[in-house]
Structure 1
Amino acid sequence: MDKIDFKKTLDSYQAKRGVFRLVEVPPLHYLMIDGHGDPNTSPAFAEAIETLYPIAYKLKFASKQGLGRDYVVPPLEGLWWADDMDAFSNRDKSQWDWTLLLLVPDWIDQAMVDAAVEQVAAKDPPARLGDVRFDLLDEGLCVQTLHIGSFDDEGPVLQKLHEEFIPSQGLRPIGHHHEIYFSDFRRTAPDKLRTLLRQPVAQASSTD
C-alpha cells in the first residue's frame, strides 16, 4: 500500500524561500478549531492542537484499514487575523484571532469524521472536542513563499509581500493570512522553523 504524503503531492504545499509564487489553491476540507489570543500563552491554542491530532490519526487509520488508502497526516496550518490589523505589525498577539486546521483527504466524508470524533470522545476526550468542525476552505488564487526562521521574523517578508509583490501584480489581499507549519514548533529551534506563508488575493479594482 502506497502512503501518500500531501506535502509532496499537492502543488499548494510547494514554496521556496525568497520567491513569491502565485498558485491556485483548490477547495480543500479541513478539521478546524477557532480561537483568540496569544498562541504562546493561550491555553485554548494548546488545547486546539491536542484536540485536532487524535481525530486526524483516527481518520488516517480508518482510511488505511477501511478504504485501503494510507497517508501521512498533513502539517498543522493556521489562519490569522485581527479586528485591528495593526495588531499584527506591532505583534500584539493578545488581539489575534485564529483558526487551526488539519487537512483531510478528499475521499473522507462527514460520516467518517463523526465516527472518528466519537472514538476520541470514548476515551479521555480532549478539552475542545466539542469545538471541532469539518469544513471547506476555498482560497482560490494565492501568493505564497517559504519562511525559514522565527515567527517573529516574518514581518519583513510579509511587508514585501503586501507592499511590493501583490500591488506589482495588480492584485489586492483578501481573506486571512495563512500559515502552514512544516516544522513542529514545539520541538524545533526558532531559527530552523520552516513555515509556508500564504495570502489569498484578488484582482485590484481601479479604485484600489
Structure 2
Amino acid sequence: MKIDLKKQIATYAAPRGRFEIVTVPPLRYLAIDGAGDPNTAQAYADALATLYPVAYALKFLSKRELDRDYVVMPLEALWWSDDMAAFTAARDKTRWRWTAMILVPDWIDDARVEVAAQAVRTKGGAPAIDALRVEALDEGLCVQTLHVGPYDAEGPVLEAMHDDFIPEHGLRMTGRHHEIYLGDPRRTAPEKLRTILRQPVERVG
C-alpha cells in the first residue's frame, strides 16, 4: 500500500483564511541552496531539475529494497533576505535567498540517499547534483496558514502574519520563512494554487 506522508504528518495541512499555531516535528529533506528570483534564476531551475530525479530514485529504491512505497512529497522552500520587506511590501525577488527541498521519509537513511544520488549522477541531467545535501530541520513552534492564489499575492498575508498575528499572540519570529507547494504551477491556474505559508516562532518572555 502506497504511503502518503501528507496525510500522516498533521502539519502538511493548514486552514485557509486564518493563522494557526502548530508544532512541527523534526524532519529531513533533500536540499539545495541558491539565490535570486525563482522565476528567472537558472540556479532555481537547476535545483528543481535535480531534486525531483533524486526524490523519485529514492522512492523506487525504497519500494525495491525496503518494500515501502510512498507518494513523493511536494516541493518546499525556505526563503530569506537581509530585509524581510523584500518578501512582504517590496517583493524584490532579486534579493531573495532560498533552500529548495523535498522531504525524505524517516525510514530512509543517508546511505540510501547517497546511493540514489549517485544513480542520478551517473545518468546525467541533474545539473545541481554536486550541491545536493540532506538537511535536518527542527522548526518546532510555528505559525502557518493556507494561501490560495498566485504566489505574488502572498505579501499582504505575510504582513498580517508577521506584523499582527505573531506579536499579538506573544510570539516572535525565529527561523526562515517556509513554503510548501501543494499545487503544481505547470498544471494549475494561478488563482487555484495552494501554498502553506509557515513561520517558525518562539514565545516572548
TM-score, scaled relative to structure 2: 0.97
Aligned to 2:169: 169
How far 1:133 moved relative to its partner?
Answer: 0.2
Aligned: 1:80 with 2:79: yes
SS in structure 2 at match of 1:186:
coil
Q: 1-side partners of 2:201 and 2:2: how far apart?
A: 33
Aligned to 1:98: 98
Let me know the Cα RMSD of the aligned residues.
Answer: 0.9
Q: 2-side partners of 1:17 and 1:157: how far apart?
A: 11
Aligned to 1:146: 146
Q: How many residues align?
A: 204
Unpaired runs of 5+ in structure 1? Answer: none
How far 1:104 moved relative to its partner?
Answer: 0.3
Aligned to 2:16: 17
Identity over aligned residues, as a percent?
Answer: 59
Contact 2:91 2:155 in 1 (8 A): no
Q: 1-side partners of 2:127 and 2:54: how far apart?
A: 13
Contact 2:2 2:68 in 1 (8 A): yes
Deviates most, 182-191 or 114-123: 182-191
Aligned to 1:134: 134
- Please list every run of at least 4 consecutive aligned residues from structure 1 whose deviation after the TM superposition is greater than 6 angstroms: none
Q: 2-side partners of 1:177 and 1:186: how far apart?
A: 23
What per-residue deviation string (whole Å, max 9, x for no partner) do you get for residues 51-106 of structure 1? 00110011101111111111100000000000122222201100000000100000
SS in structure 2 at match of 1:71:
coil
Aligned to 2:118: 118
Unpaired runs of 5+ in structure 2? Answer: none
The aligned amino acid for 2:94 is: S
